[in-house]
Amino acid sequence: MRTDVLGVSFDNITAAQAVSRACEIIGGGENAYVVTPNPEIVWMARRDSALRDAIAGAGLVLADGIGVVLGARILGTPLRAKIPGIDFAEMLFAEMAKAAQSVYLLGAKPGIAEEAGRRLAAKYPGLIIAGTSDGYFKDDEPVVDAINAARPDVLLVCLGAPRQELWMAKNVKMLDVRLCAGLGGSLDVFAGMVKRAPAFWQKLQLEWLYRLISQPSRIKRMIKLPLFVLAVIWKRIRGS
């Protein structure tokens, strides 16, 4: 069952359930993709019907951000958990490593995906890096061909929103990959180029504040968080 938050419907599941469902998809017969909307993406989807449709067509829609969880709670339809995309990926990689499954890394600047692949292979022995491609491409066909030639079990699409969601919705049926996952800037983190907030900040649900302090240029993006919360409150007051 999915829970609606300002027009975006989220799977009301835990992180462990999300990984279990992802593993089922990998072992199944139909292609699907995962999206991880945060309040910023929800806000964009309110004004972008193509993005909204791409999210709705995903096999898994995970609540990436405490703002989404807070919004659902304000609306009286609480979600079971916040599931950051990068945490979902790490948990999935751990399971994939046990089965010697493979992942293809797509996105970020040249060289980043390769370094991320090296680090992930070292961190999760048994995980196979099927291939990498940077995010600086204009024509989808050569990229799709390269991914299909590698035949990975999972494809990480790290192109940033809304590009990655639209790309997966457009290409999922042409890919010889059971599961795609749109994970924004995760490759930069996996490659060691960007550091996540320390566990203390994560525990306090203040990872967003740590990122803002570390990258003040994010202020224009972060301003959407209070707008998102105000919109949720207004919707609760109006009851529609």
Pairing of β 2-5 and β 154-158: unpaired
Given a contact cutoff of 8 angstroms between Cβ atoms, the answer to whether 172 and 186 are in contact is no
Q: Return the domain boundaries, the chain.
A: 2-185
Q: How far apart are CA 100 and CA 96, in angstroms?
A: 6
Average the pLDDT over 185-203 and give the result: 84
* Of 160, 163, 132, 125, the residue nearest 146 (C-alpha): 132
The answer for residues whose C-beta is within 8 angstroms of residue 126's C-beta and 6 or more apart is 96, 97, 98, 99, 100
Mean pLDDT along residues 124-135: 98
SS3 154: strand
pLDDT value of position 211: 67
Q: What's the mean per-residue pLDDT of the chain?
A: 93
> Which pLDDT does position 139 carry in this prediction?
97
- Other Cβ atoms within 10 Å of 44 Cβ, number: 18
Model-level pTM? 0.92
Is residue 217 predicted with pLDDT exceeding 70?
A: no
Query: What phi and psi values does residue 129 have, to the nearest 5 degrees?
Result: -90, 105
pLDDT band at 227 (very low <50, low <70, confident <90, very high): confident
Find where tokens 């890096």 sit.
129
Superfamily of domain 2-185: AF0625-like (3.40.50.10700)
- In this prediction, residue 121 carries a pLDDT of 98
What pairs with residue 4 in β-bridges? Answer: 9
Closest CA to 42 of 76, 72, 19, 18: 72
Strand partners, 10: 3
DSSP 198: P
Least confident span in 19-23, 83-87, 144-148, 225-229: 225-229
Nearest residue to 58 (alpha-carbon basis) of 168, 140, 177, 156: 168
Angstrom CA distances, 13 to 18, 78, 85, 154, stand at 6, 11, 14, 21
125: pLDDT confidence band, cut at 50, 70 and 90? very high
- Rounded Cα distance between 201 and 203, Å, is 5
Give the number of residues written for the chain.
Answer: 240
